[in-house]
Amino acid sequence: MTAPVPDLDPVIHAQVRLRVVVVLSALREGDQMAFPRLQELLGLTGGNLSVHLRKLEDAEYIVVTKTHHGRTPTTLLRLSRRGRLAFDEYTAALHALLDAAGSEETP
């Protein structure tokens, strides 16, 4: 009998959101990244990135902080603890899925 195939978190699984979570997970817990830097790293338009960030924020996977540096408004982003846990669970489910696929190939 084979183990059930794990579900992948649909909030993270979308390609752009997965890329966002991967980049933010590389930061130390509590560290933040500016919106323009994330936009540059991912090569996305501001509008496209904003839509995906909203979904991650609604799921409480990221924390968005709006502040100012001098007179310039700045948006800072970080992965929340819930987001880190969700990403850990996502990667574990992905590994389990890949392991299951690999075990089906062996006779």
Q: 10-102 belongs to which CATH class?
A: mainly alpha
pLDDT given at position 7: 87
Separation of alpha carbons 77 and 38, rounded Å? 9
pLDDT, residue 1, reads 46
What is the pLDDT at residue 90? 97
**Mean pLDDT to the nearest integer, 61-82:** 95
Higher-confidence residue: 33 or 103? Answer: 33
* Amino acid present at 70: G
CB 32 within 8 A of CB 65: yes
Rounded to a whole number of angstroms, the distance between the first and last alpha carbons of the chain is 15
Q: What is the mean pLDDT of residues 14-23?
A: 98
CA-CA distance, 37 to 15, in Å (whole number)? 18
What is the pairing mode between strands 33-34 and 72-79? antiparallel
pLDDT at 34: 97
